[in-house]
Amino acid sequence: MSTHPLRDAVAAIATPLADALGIALWGIEILDGGRMVLRVYVDARPGMPAPAEGDAPEAAEGVIPSDVTSEGVTIDQCARLSRQLGLALDVEDVIRDAYVLEVSSPGLERPFFEIAQVAPYAGRTIELTLAVPHPEWPGRRKFRADIVRVEGDTLTFLPDTAPRPDEDPAPLSVAWDDVKKAHLVHVFPDTTRPQPGGKTGQRKKAQPKKPARGGAPHDDTTD
């Protein structure tokens, strides 16, 4: 996976700031086009417990709240890092043009920036894009696959399809430097399958509540 000079410069500033807040820098995305978007991902340090529900305050500007807390990073930590990092980038004049800074956790479908980040997710499903087509699959750069193993700088994965209809999928190996981007695929439980007792996992609609005496009918039906 290729590096970016600006990404390295931002990481050099963001890493100690994240460490001081008790969290770890997971990776940095730089989205060009119009106004630059600098997206900084932070995660809990290994072994750190996830915060309790309700511990996090409301999201601050530049902080994406949807993915935080479940991964062990609070909105407060993201907000503090956003303020500190934004100030440091301005003082160091790292980015000359206008930009938008976003700080969040990697979320359920976390992007991978280093091959070491992939190893703990062996057996899980990922989507990856190669810099050039794989030699064993001419013309194909994008894959949805299961992670088989990580050995050194080599990633081995099992695609969900084969090059030809009459073949079964076979594992492919690539050097991490040949991976343009990759992210985890979160598979949600199938709630339509029958559960023990012959019931499905579908949520039952609530019935309208009876109106209180002297009041109008109140409908709490959910979709």
pLDDT: which is higher, 115 or 206:
115
Structure confidence at residue 196 as a pLDDT band (50, 70, 90): low
Fold observed for domain 115-184: SH3 type barrels. (2.30.30)
CA distance 110 to 29: 12
Taking a C-beta distance cutoff of 8 angstroms, is the pair 221, 207 a contact?
yes
Name the CATH architecture for the domain at 5-104. 2-Layer Sandwich (3.30)
- Residues 87-126: tens digit of each pLDDT: 999 999 999 889 999 999 999 999 999 999 999 999 999 9
Residue 170 bridge partners (DSSP): none
What is the per-residue pLDDT across 25-76, written as a single tens digit (0 to 9) for each?
A: 999 999 987 889 999 999 998 754 433 333 333 333 444 433 333 447 999 9
The pLDDT, as a whole number, for residue 49 is: 43
Model-wide pTM > 0.75: no
Sequence-separated (6 or more) residues with CB below 8 Å from residue 77 = 21, 22, 23, 42
CA distance linking residue 62 with residue 34, whole number of Å? 18
**Residues 137, 158: contact at Cβ < 8 Å?**
no
Pairing of strands 99-104, 172-175: unpaired
Domains of the chain, residue spans = 5-104, 115-184
204 or 103, which is more confident:
103
